[in-house]
Structures are given as C-alpha cells and as structure tokens.
Amino acid sequence: MTLASPVLYVVICGASNAAGSYDFIADTIDDGWRVCAITTPMGARFVDVAHLADLTGHPVRSAYKNPADPDVLPRADACVVAPASFNTVNKLANGICDTLAAGVVCEAIGDRTPIIVAPWLNRALAGHGAYARSIACLRAEGVCVVLTEQTRPDRPRHDPGGSFPWAAVLAEVRGLPAARAGKVTGPPISR
C-alpha cells in the first residue's frame, strides 16, 4: 500500500458482525487498497476504533468535522458499507445525511463512486416494506447490494440465519475498476 494506492472507504454500522470488518479490511489492504474506516455513531460501539485506526493507518471518523477543521481523509475511489444496518440502508436510499457515514455514502451515490452495500438484519426488519423499497432504490442508483438468504427482502417469515457474506463482498471489491486499473483519485471533497 502506498499513497498512490486506490482508496477504499469501509463504512461500518451498528449491526452484528461489525467486528468481522477487521479481517475484511486486512484482506483489502493486502490487495493493495488504502483503507479508511468510517463508523456510524452506533457502529463505533460495535468495533475497537483504536484497532481499526492501527490497522488502516488513518483516523476512524464517526462524526462530521468542525467547519474550520481540515479534511483528514483522502477522496474515495470506492465505498463498502458492511455491515449495513436496516437504519442506514433506508437512510442511503432516501438521501438522509444525518451521520458522517450516511453523508459520505450519499455523496458517493451522487457522484457515481462505486459502492457495495452488504446489509445485516433480522428477518422482522427484512420483511418491512421500507427495506425492499430501499434495496430496489439503491440498485436503481447503481449501487451493488450483496444479499444473502438472511437479508433478502422477499422471504416473509423465512429465517435461515447464516453468516455475514464477507467473502462475497471481497469478491465484489476485487472486481471494482480501481482494483483492476490502479489509482484514480481526484481532489478531496469536504467532509
């Protein structure tokens, strides 16, 4: 990993499996990405923030900066939201930017930065109509949504459990244009 490496934002929500992001991030760093971890405020309770900062070499941001503060993160070439909570999935689909994490991803949707969203939630939430609409909306915006039997919105009362699809998310990251072509960064945007 060098300053010329493509930049991957890994956005971590307040959901089960958040600590699985450590191995996933290590794998993406091994692949040559420069990784910045961003958590939602709730997500920060699910991970060891100091460990993530050590792992990535970047501060872990959970809140918007103060207006006069400098940008501390490089611009992203791609974003992963994993695990994505029900709450944040619905925010992203509806353009709600009340956390730094949601704001960064909403901006990325708007400027067509490649995004991979992997939700994790229970079947009761997966059966809520807002979730199905949000998945459809994100896909219509060009977002890659990684689902499992547990997180599909179309299986009422079906409860297969299973594990978080880190391997499938990593496979999607490995297929991204920046992973194949190298650095494509531009000037930082304000965050």
* Residues binding ligand FMN (CB under 6 A): 13-16, 40, 42-43, 85-88, 99, 120-121, 125
Nearer to ligand FMN, 124 or 184 (CB): 124
Nearer to ligand FMN, 1 or 19 (CB): 19
Q: DSSP per residue over 41-78, as a string?
A: TTGGGTS-HHHHHHHHSSPPB-SPPPTTSPP-SPPPSE
Instruction: Name the minimum Å distance from CB 137 to ligand FMN.
Output: 16
Output the six-digit token pair for 122: 């229970």
Instruction: Name the minimum Å distance from CB 169 to ligand FMN.
Output: 15
Closest CA to 58 of 71, 73, 44, 47: 73
Nearer to ligand FMN, 28 or 85 (CB): 85
Nearer to ligand FMN, 32 or 41 (CB): 41
Nearer to ligand FMN, 118 or 144 (CB): 118
3-state secondary structure 5-28: CCEEEEEECCCCCHHHHHHHHHHH
Instruction: Name the minimum Å distance from CB 97 to ligand FMN.
Output: 12
Q: Is the peptide bond before 119 cis (omega within 30 degrees of 0)?
A: no
Which residue's entry shows tokens 């998945």? 135
Output the six-digit token pair for 109: 């949707």
Output the six-digit token pair for 83: 């695990």
Rounded CA-CA distance 93/124 in Å is 19
Instruction: Name the minimum Å distance from CB 9 to ligand FMN.
Output: 15
Instruction: Name the minimum Å distance from CB 88 to ligand FMN.
Output: 4
- Select the residue whose beta carbon is closest to ligand FMN and give its number: 14
